[in-house]
């Protein structure tokens, strides 16, 4: 079995302290996800929520790699796939 590591980086524009968590839109040209986070931007709570919800959404390991104290962030999505499964998707 051969494992293939895939990484994606998304630009994020975050609106914290929203009514519910939601991914509002995706701009392909800018590779930008607009996200509303329910948590307040205090003590990293909004960042933790974003990492957890995107982990569930992408079914992959996610982490914020820049912009920890900003509304503009970069999110790294890491996924390991079996090579055989990768070929099935082509």
* Tens digit of each residue's pLDDT, the chain (90 residues): 555 578 889 999 999 999 999 999 999 999 999 999 999 999 999 999 999 999 998 888 999 999 999 999 999 998 876 655 555 555
SS3 category, 4: strand
Q: For position 83, what pLDDT does the model report?
A: 54
The overall longest dimension of the chain from CA atoms, in Å, is 45
pLDDT at 8: 87
The neighbouring-strand residues paired with 61 are: 78
Q: How far apart are CA 33 and CA 13, in angstroms?
A: 6
How many angstroms separate the CA atoms of 35 and 50, rounded? 8
pLDDT at 89: 52
């Amino acid at each position: 079995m051969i494992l293939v590591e895939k990484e994606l980086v998304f630009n994020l524009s975050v609106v914290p302290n929203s009514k519910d968590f939601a991914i509002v839109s995706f701009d392909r040209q800018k590779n930008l996800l607009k996200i509303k986070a329910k948590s307040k931007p205090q003590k990293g709570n909004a960042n933790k929520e974003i990492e957890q919800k995107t982990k569930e959404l992408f079914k992959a390991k996610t982490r914020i790699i820049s912009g920890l104290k900003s509304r503009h962030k970069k999110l790294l999505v890491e996924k390991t796939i079996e090579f055989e499964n990768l070929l099935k998707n082509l």
